[in-house]
Amino acid sequence: MIISYRFCVAGFYEAHKLPEPVDSTQVSQIIVDTFSSAHGVTFIKGDNYNFKGERDVPSTLAQCIKMRYKCQQQARKFTASKHDYTKTRNRVRKLQRFDCKGQISIYFPNAQSDASFDFALDYRHAIHEGSKHFGVPKCIRDWIHNNPQPSPLFQREALIQAIKRGELPTVKYRYFPVSHISYWWRKKVAERTYISKDAWVNVDNILRNHPSVFTGNGAF
């Protein structure tokens, strides 16, 4: 199952008290760290370039600087050893890697742009080995199903508050890693909520009423 979000974010620099002009590398690291911890996936820096536009991407994102981060489990290309054949080689096989195409793209408007957002984000990642999700009791999974929140982080926060309020009497407070809650958020909330094939439409629906993430009328 591929998890995909695409949305524009406004008010982020203000919320994080980032001085202008904003360092887009620093900002993208904050974003990537947030998604990494929310989904239990590690992303590494890819390329960045002047984006010229693509068929399925809103035209307001053309002329943005596009920064890409790729899932760490992307298969490595085979490279022939440069060592002489008489020399000892590392013969230990690499760990099995899942050839993941998952990536985060972040679009920053260029200096001339009058765009109303700080940046736009395109997250695509398929669940694969390495995303842990075991050990979450059924009552919590059911609670997530009945109390959907707009993101895994909000879901986890709401869950912890509910446990503190005693809404889940059989659950004594204990640590729930974000990655576990994320998995069940995806199963219980995202799969039900992301109804359209067009991810831009879906996220617009989900985040339209979410002032801290989305401002304006949701239009690009």
Q: Which residues bind Zn ion (CB under 5 A)?
A: 71, 73, 100, 102
Residue written as tokens 């700080």?
Answer: 118
Dist CA 36 CA 30 (whole Å)? 10
**Cβ closer to Zn ion: 2 or 62?**
2
| Interior angle at CA 99, CA 45 and CA 9, nearest 5 | 40
Shortest CB 75 distance to Zn ion, Å: 11
Dist CA 176 CA 11 (whole Å)? 29
**Cβ closer to Zn ion: 27 or 71?**
71
**Cβ closer to Zn ion: 37 or 215?**
37
Q: 39 with 181: CB under 8 angstroms? A: no
Shortest CB 39 distance to Zn ion, Å: 9
Shortest CB 73 distance to Zn ion, Å: 5
Dist CA 32 CA 41 (whole Å)? 10
Shortest CB 6 distance to Zn ion, Å: 18
Longest dimension (CA), the chain: 68
Instruction: For residue 63, give every residue at least 6 positions away whose Cβ sits within 8 Å of its Cβ, in sequence order, or none.
Output: 50, 51, 52, 53, 109, 110, 113
**Cβ closer to Zn ion: 14 or 129?**
129
| Half-sphere CA count of 90, side-chain side, radius 13 A | 6
Shortest CB 71 distance to Zn ion, Å: 3
**Cβ closer to Zn ion: 42 or 116?**
42
**Cβ closer to Zn ion: 99 or 167?**
99
Residues for the chain: how many in total? 220
Query: If we measure between CA atoms, which residue out of 157, 15, 21, 43 comes closest to residue 100?
Result: 43
Shortest CB 98 distance to Zn ion, Å: 6
**Cβ closer to Zn ion: 47 or 84?**
47
My answer on whether omega of the bond before 21 falls inside 30° of 0, hence cis, is: yes
Shortest CB 38 distance to Zn ion, Å: 14
Dist CA 89 CA 76 (whole Å)? 18
